[in-house]
């Protein structure tokens, strides 16, 4: 691995700076409209498909949280960024397979995509092995019941492993994990306010037993305004900051 320097000012940094200013303004406007304070909303820059140098630009512009959805890419990028001396928190936001847990627990600050009891057990076991601090965990919830897109479900009749209450219990009982809240992706056909309305049921069930689990990770480039209106505390923004990705990822 070549040794990287700190972010170099130049056209790419200026482009990202302008995009960042626009995104921050959108968040501020959405907060004003919802009667919320912008300090309640953490911006996570989603850097998948973009190089470590972009993470360094973001860090030098004051972005402390970055998100990735594939383990191999994330692990390499986290190592490069650390070697360059930048300090950011890595959020793992993609669907997670059990065989990747061993790697993810080494660099992730928060895993947003925990949606199965079996995954909780493996993540806890791997985190307990290498971490001194607990790993922050969000339970990804399904707002449309589409099994292919991931997410825990309101009822476990056909999918006990993905029953929301069972996943909550498993995370709460796992010492190496810290239950922080929920994560959702808007259903494909409804990128509007109703899309996130379904979150209320999950947050209600969660907070009845875990009042401190207050994180709501929701909202991407196209729906951050709706997500903020529905109470998002963490928004995950990729293309609005870094540009359209060549493929839908």
Ligand X SMILES: *Cc1c(COP(=O)(O)O)cnc(C)c1O
Helix axes 199-209, 164-173, angle to 10 degrees: 40
Neighbours of 134 (CB within 10 A): 16
CB of 239 to ligand X, least distance (A): 4
CB of 52 to ligand X, least distance (A): 17
Please, which residue, 92 or 176, has the CB nearer to ligand X?
92
**Nearest residue (beta carbon) to ligand X:** 238
Please, which residue, 19 or 69, has the CB nearer to ligand X?
69
CB of 221 to ligand X, least distance (A): 3
Please, which residue, 176 or 224, has the CB nearer to ligand X?
224
Please, which residue, 93 or 110, has the CB nearer to ligand X?
93
CB of 241 to ligand X, least distance (A): 8
Residues near ligand X, by CB under 6 A: 46, 48, 69, 93-94, 185, 220-222, 236-240, 249
Q: How far apart are CA 107 and CA 122, in angstroms?
A: 16
CA distances from 217 to 48, 65, 154, 211 (A): 17, 13, 18, 16
Q: Which of 223, 238, 240, 241 is nearest to 67 (CA)?
A: 238
* Token pair belonging to 38: 């912008």
């Amino acid at each position: 691995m070549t040794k990287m320097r700190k972010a170099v000012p130049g056209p790419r940094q200026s482009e990202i700076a302008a995009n960042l200013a626009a995104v921050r303004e959108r968040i501020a406007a959405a907060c004003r409209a919802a009667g919320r304070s912008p300090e309640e909303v953490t911006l996570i820059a989603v850097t998948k498909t973009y190089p470590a140098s972009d993470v360094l630009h973001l860090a030098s512009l004051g972005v402390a949280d970055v998100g990735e959805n594939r383990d191999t890419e994330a692990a390499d990028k986290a190592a490069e960024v650390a070697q360059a001396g930048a300090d950011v928190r890595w959020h793992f936001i993609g669907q997670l397979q059990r065989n990747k847990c061993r790697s993810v627990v080494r660099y992730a600050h928060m895993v947003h995509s925990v949606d199965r009891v079996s995954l909780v057990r493996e993540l806890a076991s791997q985190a307990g092995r290498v971490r001194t601090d607990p790993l922050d965990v969000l339970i990804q919830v399904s707002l449309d019941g589409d099994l292919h897109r991931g997410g825990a479900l309101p009822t476990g009749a056909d999918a006990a492993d993905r029953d929301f209450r069972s996943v909550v219990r498993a995370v709460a009982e796992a010492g190496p994990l810290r239950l922080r809240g929920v994560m959702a992706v808007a259903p494909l056909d409804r990128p509007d306010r109703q899309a996130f309305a379904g979150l209320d049921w999950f947050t209600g069930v969660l907070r009845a037993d875990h009042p401190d689990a207050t994180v709501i990770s929701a909202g991407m480039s196209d729906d951050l305004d709706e997500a903020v209106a529905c109470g998002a505390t963490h928004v995950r923004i990729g293309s609005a900051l870094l540009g359209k990705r060549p493929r839908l990822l």
